[in-house]
Amino acid sequence: MLIINPLKPIYIDYVKQVIRMGNFKYNGKELEYEDNDFIKIFEIAKVPISIDNLIEKMIHKTNFSKDDIEYLIDSLKKEKFLIDYEKYQKILEDEEINRQNLFFSMVSDNIKNWNLDKQPKILILGLGGIGANVAMILTRAGFEKFVLVDYDIVEKSNLIRQFPYDLNDVGKPKIEILAEKLKKENVSFNLKNKKIEKCEDISKEIENSDFVICTLDKPSRIIRRIINELCIKYKKPVIFSGFSEHIAMVGPFILPQKTACLNCIENKNFEKNIQNVKIAPSYGPLCLLISSIVANETINYFTKFKKYNLIGKTMMINILNYNKSVIKWEKNNNCEVCSNDCK
């Protein structure tokens, strides 16, 4: 059974004799036609119809030959103007995430159910303005296995950017509050209320995870190196994120054996820090922007719903003017952390 693609609007320009799928020309698909009989297939296939019945009706209502109609149907299927109705209906079965699956199918080359066949174990390090929001997005996106690591309590100043928490949570451990807020059927949380200062503090959790999201910033500089070394050692993908003043930073997104690691790209001779910020400025929309991109990269890593990703890269976005830059990092073949990893 076929149906006109219900995932995108379709417009017909009768003057220019152009049919477009999508609201905008720059990201839509356009087909030119010469015979007005062409558009009758869109009228017929507004409801589900078998290929045989579609051919029969087109023969009855147009001057096209059967061969012409079969070619037209194949062309419209190839360009996704016509899609498989049964596959579309299957996407709708899971009411909780069917809108998400429809989105994936809209932007990909496939009409399919994107539910995870095997649930990965996601390790989230830090449950502040980025980590807590990432956890919230991923649980609602269909992920079910999490290890949450944080040693902090909810403070009143957190509430402008750490959206799972509220005033009633102030003074309570973040990991316990977050797990309770995000609790739902089939979702499991392994909670680790601990501070990370050396490799031994987090080695086991990284070894037993499938994907690592690091949003920690303390101890300054040291923590990222600890996580990087362990992820390289245990061959675990890791995505770092944070912000510097008004600049959102997502990445580097590291795949051991394939991309540069953090040690490849950090400047060991960086000038000495003579002062730490005592109370760091922060901004809710900036944290949500970063959280959304991190969650999007995580989802795409496991579903492959889009071809572009930030693997091996760092994206920086200026929240003040929306200027964006993406840096692709080169692997250092002499890196003392990961050079042996690819041999």
Rg, C-alpha atoms of the chain: 25
pLDDT tens digit sequence for 102-123: 999 888 877 888 877 789 999 9
User: What average pLDDT does the segment 114-142 reach?
Assistant: 93
Q: Does position 130 have pLDDT exceeding 70, yes or no?
A: yes
Of 133-147, 152-166, 238-252, 255-269, minimum mean pLDDT range? 255-269
Share in percent of the chain as helix, strand, coil (round to 5): 35, 20, 45
* The predicted structure's pLDDT at residue 341: 56
Q: 10 Å Cβ neighbour count for 166? A: 12
Domain ranges, ordered by start, for the chain: 2-106, 121-268+276-342
pLDDT tens digit sequence for 232-253: 999 999 999 999 899 999 999 9
CATH fourth-level superfamily of 121-268+276-342:
NAD(P)-binding Rossmann-like Domain (3.40.50.720)
On whether the CB atoms of residues 156 and 139 are closer than 8 A, the answer is no
Structure tokens at 163: 């959206």
pLDDT tens digit sequence for 279-302: 778 899 999 999 999 999 999 999
* The predicted structure's pLDDT at residue 185: 77
Q: Does position 146 have pLDDT exceeding 80, yes or no?
A: yes
* The predicted structure's pLDDT at residue 342: 44
pLDDT tens digit sequence for 71-98: 999 999 999 999 999 999 998 988 889 9
* The predicted structure's pLDDT at residue 269: 46
Identity of residue 310: L
Q: SS3 for 191?
A: strand
pLDDT tens digit sequence for 182-229: 998 789 999 999 999 999 999 999 999 999 999 998 876 789 999 999
* The predicted structure's pLDDT at residue 144: 94
Would you say the C-alpha torsion 301, 306, 307, 313 has a positive or negative sign?
Answer: negative
Q: Does position 40 have pLDDT exceeding 70, yes or no?
A: yes
* Architecture in CATH of 2-106: Alpha-Beta Complex (3.90)
User: What average pLDDT does the segment 12-28 reach?
Assistant: 91
Rounded to whole angstroms, the Cα distance separating 153 from 159 reads 12
* The predicted structure's pLDDT at residue 308: 87
